[in-house]
Structure 1
Amino acid sequence: MTWPNVTVSQKNRYNGTTNDIERVVLYVGYGDTNTDKTQAVNTGTDLDKALGDTDSLLKRIVAAAANNAGQNWFAYVHVMPEPDPDDAGNKVDDAWMKAVTDAQSVASVEGVVLAFDVTEKATINRATEMRTTLQTKFGRFVWFVLSVGGTEEDESWADYQTRMAALENGIASPGVQLVPRLWGNEPGVLAGRLCNRSVTVADSPARVATGAVTALGSDDLPKDGTGQEIDLAVLQGLQANRYSVPMWYHDYDGIYWSDGRTLDVEGGDYQVIENVRVVDKASRRVRLRAIPKIADRSLNSTPGSIAAHETYFGKPLREMSISSQINGVEFPGEVKPPKDGDVTITWTSSVAVQIYLIVRPYESAKEIGVSIELDTSLENQA
């Protein structure tokens, strides 16, 4: 015998929106105000109050980022006290690594900018390790921008390039970018350009239609220690050595950006930052959809379940592929729409399942060749 009753259950299909981690960056540097704190800043923040009245590299880089990011810029800043001049490099690395780790309790970001000059391979390696640590400890996918100083006293551009080549040589790190400070504020300029909401995370900082960069830090072209003005050959040489630098086009006004180079290996898929960002974004969203499926028996090896969950786990890719059409011009999504087979589910045991996703970025023309043909035949003249 059963007592008549009605039970109403509310199901959660996890189809809601998630927090927008993209375009939010953490800036870590030195100052004498609000030290050892992680602060939220935006376009309305008084940086003199937040970061102190005195001029600092951190404040200049943050201001340059805000200037290039444009409307609705939002970021976090962690101010470290000035280091003891006698501190060895490992103590300096320990300090910024602790700052990044401590900030995780306040800030979930897609990138970290170290607003002080890196001089040793060890710091680059620590940034590589920190990217892995944040993935394993917090499930967060974070890229890094590391500042590198300009030329030293009496150092020529040729000697500078030799020193820069030695600094990055032998390091494999897809999530780390090295940005020389030749004008002064380039790390902030690049980070702000990547956070500009007029473009997507799939767009390269080299995109000219985004506009010229601003707040570089100097109105004149940089000079080396011998007084020689920089030229495009120097910048091209730095990019060839995996540095991310500004550039310009002759007879075309403004200064722009070259490729967003990372320290990925030659032939790697993540040699440019836009590829890192689209895969990081997909990884964040798929992770949030995988967590609710732990021990949920609706995810099983039956054909119906596999088909349903291929659709379920493919949702982030479908959302990222949404395009827009304005005045007859199509603006593509961040990735191409997933095709059949781009989401695959394989059971490796009764309690372990592997989900494979293929992310297909759109093509982006960074080398454009134009051929012009002259036709002087009489029959084609009016």
Structure 2
Amino acid sequence: MALGTVTVDNLNLGQGAVTEVERYFLFIGPAGKNVGQFIALNTDSDLDATLGAPASDLKTQITAARLNGGQRWACVAAPIGSEGDWASALEKAQQQGYSVEGAVITKPVTTAAELTAMNDAAVAINNKYGRRLFILAATPGVTAQQTWSQYVTEQKALVGNLAAPRVSPVAQLHGNDLGVVAGRLANASVSIADSPMRVATGPVLGLGPVPIDADKVPLPSAVRSELDRARISVSQTYPDYPGVYWGDGNMLDAPGSDFQVIEYLRITDKAARQIRPLLIRRVADRRLNNTPNSMAVNTSQLMAPLRAMAKSVKFNGEVFPGDIEPPKDGDLVLEWLSKTKVVAYFKLRPLNCPKDLQANIALDLSTDKTE
């Protein structure tokens, strides 16, 4: 004999959204107020009240970032003392649960060891907390005692032999270049797959005065080109085209590597952030097994973040592409190494993006007339 029993359970299938950290940056640098604190800022924030009324490097860069970041710009600021202990502030931010896409270190670096330490810190954060981030690092601008030749030599020596693929050095030629490009990267009106070079995004805003060297020569385009070749990010102009724009978001990756520009790193990190919670939910879940049905179902579910990243929008006859190309069959492979260990291999395809355009114009001097 038995009594009737009815139980209704809610099944959590893990179909919700993952909190996005893209375009949300942590600014670390010297300031006159709230040292040792973490300050949430947006477009409405009073920077004098939060960072101190006197001018500071941190406030200068955040002001430029806010101007270039668009209507939805927001960040976290970590004021530090004049000694510039960015590493402690970065680690403390992780301990307090601040998950960001990138850290912006405003105090200019003077040695290659500092850039290496920044890359090591970014890697350590991923190892320890499972959080992926890149670091925008300021390099010094030209001094009143330097010629442009001396300045370029100094900058090339600073980064020349480094392999630091999670660090993007930015030359502080105009005094606020770092904040300008940080805001440009955080602007929600464009995709994270877009290069800061994108002219259609518009010119940079609020860039400081044009620097001059010891010989009173204004910043030449050749200097920008040399710094870009050295993997330092700089602004750029186009002759007879109004406005100042930006060059590539260069990373200190090795030649021939996949992540020499920041947009490739950003889309890969975004995919990793979306995929990681899906894998965590599958720990010791026997619904993921090596049967054909399970492999097909889980392959489809794990590909969902890539399909979402690839979504495009068509408006007024024009297609606005997603972050990546639509995934194809075979872009995810699940490989069982043992009864309890499975490895997933994902493939992402960035869309083509023209950065070097050339036109060839020919005259047609024939006298043939069309009937």
Q: Given the two structures, how large is their TM-score scaled by the length of structure 2?
A: 0.98
Equivalent position to 2:193, from 202, 212, 221? 202
Matched, 1:213 2:204: yes
In structure 1, what is the equivalent of residue 5 of structure 2?
Answer: 5
In structure 2, what is the equivalent of residue 88 of structure 1?
Answer: none
In structure 2, what is the equivalent of residue 55 of structure 1?
Answer: 55
Q: Per the alignment, in what secondary structure is the counterpart of residue 116 of structure 1?
A: coil
In structure 1, what is the equivalent of residue 105 of structure 2?
Answer: 114
The runs of 5 or more residues in structure 2 that have no matched partner are none
The CA distance in 2 between the partners of 1:380 and 1:236, in whole Å, is 48
User: Could you list the per-position Cα deviations for residues 337-368 of structure 1 after superposition, in whole angstroms to 9, with x for gaps in the alignment?
Assistant: 10000011001111111011001000000001
CA shift for structure 1 position 5: 1.2
Equivalent position to 1:291, from 280, 285, 292? 280
The CA distance in 2 between the partners of 1:76 and 1:106, in whole Å, is 12
The CA distance in 1 between the partners of 2:19 and 2:45, in whole Å, is 22
Q: Structure 1: which amino acid aligns with 2:88?
A: K
Listed as ranges, the matches of 1:230-309 within 5 Å are: 230-309=219-298
CA shift for structure 1 position 3: 3.4
- 1:32, 1:82 within 8 Å by CA — same for their partners in 2? no
Listed as ranges, the matches of 1:1-382 within 5 Å are: 1-83=1-83, 92=84, 95-104=85-94, 105-218=96-209, 221-380=210-369
User: Could you list the per-position Cα deviations for residues 250-297 of structure 1 after superposition, in whole angstroms to 9, with x for gaps in the alignment?
Assistant: 000000001111101111110000000000000000001111111111
CA shift for structure 1 position 379: 1.5
The CA distance in 2 between the partners of 1:242 and 1:29, in whole Å, is 23
CA shift for structure 1 position 106: 4.0
Query: Which has the larger displacement, 371-380 or 339-348?
Result: 371-380
CA-atom RMSD, angstroms? Answer: 1.1
CA shift for structure 1 position 380: 4.1
- 1:38, 1:106 within 8 Å by CA — same for their partners in 2? no
The CA distance in 1 between the partners of 2:286 and 2:6, in whole Å, is 24
The runs of 5 or more residues in structure 1 that have no matched partner are 84-91
Q: Structure 1: which amino acid aligns with 2:202?
A: G
CA shift for structure 1 position 48: 0.2
CA shift for structure 1 position 2: 4.4
Q: Per the alignment, in what secondary structure is the counterpart of residue 107 of structure 2?
A: strand
CA shift for structure 1 position 153: 3.5
User: Could you list the per-position Cα deviations for residues 88-135 of structure 1 after superposition, in whole angstroms to 9, with x for gaps in the alignment?
Assistant: xxxx5xx21110011121421000000111001111011110111110
The CA distance in 1 between the partners of 2:66 and 2:113, in whole Å, is 29
Q: Structure 2: which amino acid aligns with 1:298?
A: R
Q: Per the alignment, in what secondary structure is the counterpart of residue 177 of structure 1?
A: strand
Q: Structure 1: which amino acid aligns with 2:91?
A: T
CA shift for structure 1 position 326: 1.4
Q: Per the alignment, in what secondary structure is the counterpart of residue 137 of structure 1?
A: helix
- 2:142, 2:211 within 8 Å by CA — same for their partners in 1? no
Matched-pair identity in % = 39
Q: Per the alignment, in what secondary structure is the counterpart of residue 379 of structure 1?
A: coil
Q: Structure 1: which amino acid aligns with 2:229?
A: A
The CA distance in 2 between the partners of 1:214 and 1:372, in whole Å, is 34
Q: How many pairs align? A: 370
- 2:32, 2:56 within 8 Å by CA — same for their partners in 1? no
Q: Structure 1: which amino acid aligns with 2:26?
A: L
